[in-house]
Amino acid sequence: MDITNLNRDKKRRKGSIDLSTMVYGKVPPQAKELEEAVLGAIMLEKSAFDSVIDTNLKAECFYVEAHQIIFKAMQDMQQRGIPIDILTVVEELKRKDQLDQVGGPYYVTRLTNTVVSTAHIDAHARIILQKFIQRELIRISGEIIGDAYEDSTDVFDLLDESETKMFNITNNYLKKNFEDMGSVLAKTINRIDELRTKTEDISGVPSGFSTLDRVTYGWQPTDLIILAARPSVGKTAFALNLARHAALNPVKPTPVGFFSLEMSASQLVQRILSAESEIHMEKISRGKLEDHEYQQLHAKGIKRLETAPLYIDDTAALNIFEFRAKARRLVNKHGVGIIIIDYLQLMSGSGEKNSNREQEISTISRNLKALAKELNIPIIALSQLSRAVETRKESKMPQLSDLRESGAIEQDADMVMFIYRPEYYENYTNENGEDNRGETHIKIAKHRNGSLETIKLRALLHFQKFEEWQEDGGFQSFNGGGNFKPVGPAPSPGGGASEGGGKFFIQGSRMNGGDFDEGFDGDAPF
């Protein structure tokens, strides 16, 4: 081989970094003496264990295996109300048949000999925790490096997994400190003063519906809002209206993150375009647009939406850990102020084999609430209702007990809203005999920080749009609106056919799938 090439190879090898000498050639971060001091102090001082627990120190944080076993025994004793001292710890280890594993009674006794004072036990515990976090970062980094070298690794999955592992360290081992009443009171007074000087009444993210904002004052930060209904009632359409109104609000535009586990991003955008341009959804989805409609689509829809701060993720089978990582990135990178999920039951949880679906949904709802608090934004999660609504002979208005798969959804949510449309159950007239097609009730069944009310809106689902209810609007204002199929002339309030002999629509066509009945005559079945 040429001498020049040999020298070049030597320089290249010399300049490259050998990761093994940086990680595997060193002793992991540890503090054995402090571990002994902490365990000894707990056995000598009655209140020491509470101080240690307050630092979020756990058994796995100890480097020495014997210390892990001893601390775990202390935790078990504390839970059972047994006093912790040298003798009781030895007896507990005997009971668990672990005394020989830790070095016998002599080793347990020797731990107290290293204790000079218990005054600084919380500082010692924090150092042990810091060393553990360092070891975890080294371990996780090593796993990421190994996976990154694998050709079969999906780089985006690796990014999500890496973020999840890093977040778990923060979530599991770093606790927020207590705040004294004075500091919390000062923050609260500042917020009250800020709200007093505002001219608008909405303190959160606007919904776009004045009647709804009157009750909620906008979607509030840290709130988990559940929006539930039976299939094909209009959950996705209403959620997209909320997203569109927030992103395009003229006074308070708010970036929106929309996670769709059911529909593709293209289908969602078609619906938003229909609502914004007021062109029938059926025409947009099939591309059957007249020239003037195409110009209207550009002028009222595309031009307004192309710069809208609306971010759509249509990943199917998204799990809660991936969602959490993506949500954090959206907030940090794009300043997203509200997140909407369509819908909750399609999300997967921890993936543990022994957990049932109810436990999984409980984990998801609990994590969503925790994430809303962490990111300080509202999260709206759509949810399905059980079939119990259909079996009831009396009112079909949904109740909290109808929430599907888990009561934990009801417990974790700050607000639960139901969508109810009488025409969904083939009820086309109200108690006064007036036509009520398009009438939509948004029932607030749980509101942790406000009143429980029912808001009436009008559904124009052929436009994928909702608007404020006008009592004198009449049937003519939403010709053909709703998720219907043609069956015959619309009955007049007096029992006869409506003028014009046109067709009206009842429940039947699929709303989300984009399928239509053959021989359709008139407006789109949305």
Q: Which residues carry out catalysis?
A: 262
Angle between helices 104-113 and 32-44 (to 10 degrees): 90
For residues 491 and 482, is the Cβ–Cβ distance under 8 A?
A: no
Residue 103 region by backbone torsions, left for phi larger than 0, else alpha for psi between -120 and 50, else beta: left
Q: Which residues have CB under 8 Å from 241's CB, separation 6+? A: 208, 275, 464, 465, 466
Distances (CA, A) of 266 to 314, 491, 496, 525: 9, 37, 42, 19
For residues 56 and 128, is the Cβ–Cβ distance under 8 A? no
Q: Are the beta carbons of 331 and 376 closer than 8 angstroms? A: no
Query: b/e for 454-487, b at 16 or more Cβ within 10 A?
Result: ebebbbbbbbbbbbebeeeeebeebebbbbbbbe
Task: Please list, in sequence order, all residues whose beta carbon lies within 8 angstroms of the beta carbon of residue 332, skipping any fewer than 6 positions away.
Answer: none
Q: For the stretch 163-174, what's the b/e string if a residue is b when 16 or more beta carbons lie within 10 angstroms of its beta carbon?
A: bbbbbeeeeebe
Cα–Cα distance measured from residue 279 to residue 523, given in angstroms and rounded to the nearest whole number:
11
Task: Classify residue 297 by its DSSP letter.
Answer: I
DSSP codes of every residue in 202-252: --SB--S-HHHHHHHSSBPTT-EEEEEE-TTSSHHHHHHHHHHHHHT-SSS
Helix axes 265-277, 235-247, angle to 10 degrees: 70
Q: Where are the alpha helices (DSSP H) in 16-114?
A: 19-23, 32-44, 48-54, 65-79, 86-95, 104-113
- Return d(Cα 218, Cα 203) in angstroms, integer: 6
Computed on alpha carbons and rounded to an integer, the radius of gyration of the chain in Å comes to 30
Alpha-carbon dihedral sign for residues 466, 467, 468, 472: negative
Q: Can you name the residues that pair with 418 across neighbouring β-strands?
A: 228, 443
Identify the three-state secondary structure at position 304.
helix
**CA atoms of 405 and 357, how far apart (whole Å):** 7
Phi (first) and psi of residue 396, to 5 degrees: -90, 5
Angle between helices 320-334 and 357-375 (to 10 degrees): 20
Distance CA 438, CA 526 (A): 11
